[in-house]
Structure 1
Amino acid sequence: MASESKAEPRLVAGRSQLLLLCRPFVGLDQALSSRLQLLRPWESSLPRDRFLAAHAAGIHALLSTGLAVVDAPLLDALPALCFVITNNVGVDHINLAKCAHRGISVANVGTIYSTDVADYAVCLLLDVLRRARDFVRESAS
């Protein structure tokens, strides 16, 4: 048991805790870890439910990346939770009714990436068309 407690994160004075449900990309992880104490259940020797129980009182915010599900059992395991953040446009993976009932605020990125995604899609389409044109020219000769 003593070895399990050593592996667990300790509260750092003056730094709020943020629960991560899965690994964020490196840049986001670095930016967050410079300001917050990140709780990463996948790094713990404890099963996820025991990890959450051990830290539940101090978890006021959680970040859902990669469509990690925020369902009723997870919300019930975090009685101090006040804020759910997702870096996705949609919130279908979050139990909004339960969050509303508990007074938990939910935020997502909205349409912030829409223009970038559209630009990327057009560039991919142009690349496909260019490759198709080159294939047709090579086949004809």
Structure 2
Amino acid sequence: MGDFLANWYPWTKALHVVSVIAWMAGLFYLPRLFVYHVEVVAAGTPTDDLFQTMERRLLRAIMNPAMVATWVFGLALVFTPGVVPWSEVWPWLKAASVLGMTWFHHWLGLRRKDFVAGQNAVTGRQYRMMNEVPTLLMLVIVFSVIVKF
């Protein structure tokens, strides 16, 4: 198995990066949609239905597959011999940040269900603040991997 992963390392790494980009795009955009949804759109209107459709499609058609692909290709990189030096700090920091990113993804999914049920209790300001979470986690991940501190 190690030889297979080693031979496919450049492809696995490229697919991991593409998956991360798609996932991050969704993690940045969905909270933004929630801000506009809560601040501008009245519940039960055609615009409410439109926002719910956009949010559902973004989450299910882009974000969920991108998250799964990110995890699959990321784990393939982890299991590729010689790629991750677990004796250093950076892989652990990256792993913790990826878990945080995954938690945030699921938190967004729960908030989307709140909109569907007409029970959103989060304000636009709170969504704006939460929108910074993936940015902070992304910075930790990128600096961990590139600088390897």
TM-score bracket relative to the smaller structure: under 0.3
TM-score (norm 2): 0.25
Of structures 1 and 2, the one scoring higher in RCO (CA 8 A, sep 6+) is 2
Q: Between Structure 1 and Structure 2, whose CA radius of gyration is higher?
A: 1
TM-score (norm 1): 0.26
Task: Name whichever structure is richer in strand by fraction.
Answer: 1
Task: Name whichever structure is richer in helix by fraction.
Answer: 2
